[in-house]
Amino acid sequence: MLDDVRILAWGERSAVKLCATLLERAGAQICFADAGPVAGIAHDVVIVSSDMSSTKEKSVIAELKAAGNTIVCDITATGPQGSRAGGSWSDAQVQAISGLMDTTGFAHGEPVRIGVPFTDISAALYASAAIAAAIRVRRMRGIVQTIDVTLFGCAASALTTFLPAAFVRDTVGRVGNRHPACAPWNAYRTSDGWILICTSTEEQWRRIRSVARVPQLDDPRFATLRERVRHVDVLDPLIETWTTTLTTAECTRLCETIGVAAGPIVSVAGLSGEPNFRLRHGEAAERIDARGIDGDTYRQVSVFRTSRLTDRAVHAPLTANAERVFPTDAGPLAGVKVIEIGQYTTAPLVGKHLAALGARVIKIEPPDGEVARSWAPGRDGTSYFFALNNTDKETIALDLKQDRDREYLRRLLADADVLVENLRPGALAKLGFGRQSLGEINPRLIYCSISGFGIESAYPTRPAFDTVIQAMGGLMDLTRSHGMPVKLGASGADILGGQAALLAILAILAEPSRQAGNFVEISMQDVAAWGALYSSGHPEPQGLAVPCADGHIWIESDGLRDAASLAAHAKQLRCGSLTRACAIAALAEAGIRAVPVVRVPELMEDGDFLADVLSVARDASGAFWPVLKMPYRLSRTPARIRAVPGMPEVRHAIDDEGEERSGRGAIRLSGLAKLDL
């Protein structure tokens, strides 16, 4: 992977240290320094955070960038431009100004700070992936470049569930443990605690309704997904009349039996006793039992696992792609072919970034399209959510339960570099595409499987959605509103899992002489637990969301470490009767830092968001769609967002004689079978 790559981590931000530890896991040699580079010691990569550096340190960073001999990755809060440029904003402040904090919490409560430094963690994962891409470019094409990563961009990129409403001038407020586009989806009381239950399809709804045996669930108001979301305040109490008759364990087992994602809320300290965590991370669990959680506990948990694709020793020749010559400004993954089989957020996020980095990404959808295509709001049969997560992909509809369609997939895989999927573990193998079969089809393939609990799992048949993983990975335990656990408004576990997969794939692709195939296993629970353990071992200073006349502000102070003292100062200054701008000014005079908690719709008027985050792409008809830029910038081989896919189509169909031919138009292959999520 990144063997023999020498990396210097020199910066104050948590993201710098986290980025370095992730790259160390990928094989790099890491040096941590307080005083910067040492004369006579060369590094391939230097990771910095210039917005928290002294004037002298900034000068050294500028010299490193100008010299052009070293890949310099600069992780800052808001980047070198814009009205907020240069400010040493904290993770919580970035959560506030990006709209991320506005999405977390309950509908009738205040915004809630995410209990882990989410923007730092996300920035570390994206920075690691961008560095791996830059290393690939340097090794294959001799180009050295700089990288800029912003916490603000990472935070805004996580808002794909909430931005669609803002695009149509609608408002999606805080939804607590609900989902703005799916129902039933919430934390429900049981006879001995709470359980998270998440559904997204009509089939899952029918199964819940069948086992719950609550007559009122047959009400026409719940006949469709859109109507269930509209009447969720009536629906949730009815679901709870069923869940309260069961223990949490009983309800979890029943949901697993019927294929519905569900699980309990696990505390961070309780991770060591959680069966799947203990199975996958026995040493970390024993360490927690013996010593508790400290600043290094998180390092015992890997966010990805890699191994040989098959047990057979295979040494296949390099493909033609590896030998091609590309323009100097071509993306880092020019010539790479990717097959994506997945829905919703996780695998699509990986495919989106690989496509932006220059790969040809072919997305395989069910015959009637991905479920998320139909989520409101949208236009022309495609939701804004789907568009945000699937830019620059070719989309093809296949029924993988049909022999002809499976044969077509084999042809696609034969010369592919990467296969990424987030189906239920074992689902692809049942269709004839297990690791051994994939190795026979393509000995050099990188096969990345993303799932809630991993391949080696205590729950081999349990489905999982983001909210369940947040609950079972410790994220909800750390994120609380008045003591009650609440999920991140953003799909945090999905996003972090996808970022971990992106890093692993890019680190492998950075080996230009790679011969044998690779298997990458991502457990979203692993990644969530890694972030929760880091946060528990590195507690952040307290802050407070304070109501004002026109919204909320977030306040912090080095001198006032507890929330009660902050609240007393806010009350003394009568912040509740002031606008956010006036309250921020009054608190500044008292030596207390404050920023507005920006509502997601307000981002549409935010100059920094419009300039640094929002962009547009065209669909096949030439219409423009709002999309998001990448939160990392490679100076010489940038990631680019260009297009929004239309409905799934066959661009190279197979005729009756088995010959491949070009086709145009929305030609869907036969069958109605869904992919097994």
The gap from C-alpha 224 to its chain's centroid, in whole angstroms, comes to 28
Count each helix (H run) and each strand (E run) in the chain, helices first: 25, 27
Q: Is 494 a catalytic residue?
A: yes
Residue whose C-alpha is closest to residue 46's, from 25, 61, 57, 58: 61
Q: How far apart are CA 279 and CA 301, in angstroms?
A: 12
Q: How far apart are CA 182 and CA 171, in angstroms?
A: 16
Task: Report strand pairing: 71-76 vs 146-150.
Answer: parallel
User: ∠ CA(479), CA(483), CA(488), 5° rounding?
Assistant: 20
| Burial class of residue 580, CB neighbours in 10 A (0-12, 13-18, 19+) | buried
Q: How far apart are CA 146 and CA 165, in angstroms?
A: 35
Residue showing tokens 């008027």: 605
- At residue 81, φ and ψ (nearest 5 deg) are -130, 170
SS3 state at 285: helix
> Do 153 and 77 form a contact (C-beta atoms < 8 A)?
no
468: its two tokens: 């369940």
CB atoms within 10 A of CB 411: 14
SS3 state at 467: helix
Residues 6+ apart with CB under 8 A from 586: 573, 575, 578
- At residue 180, φ and ψ (nearest 5 deg) are -70, -15
CA dist 511 → 504, 660, 672 (Å)? 12, 32, 40
Name the active-site residue from 494, 526, 608, 612: 494
Note every long-range contact of 457-463, with CB atoms under 8 Å and residues 24 or more positions apart, other chains counting.
457/276, 457/279, 457/280, 457/425, 457/523, 458/275, 458/276, 458/279, 459/256, 459/275, 459/276, 460/425, 460/426, 461/256, 461/424, 462/256, 462/261, 462/263, 463/256, 463/259, 463/260, 463/261, 463/424, 463/677
HEC-encoded secondary structure of 384-449 = HHHHHHCCCEEEEECCCCCHHHHHHHHHHHHCCCEEEECCCCCHHHHCCCCHHHHHHHCCCCEEEE
Catalytic residues: 494
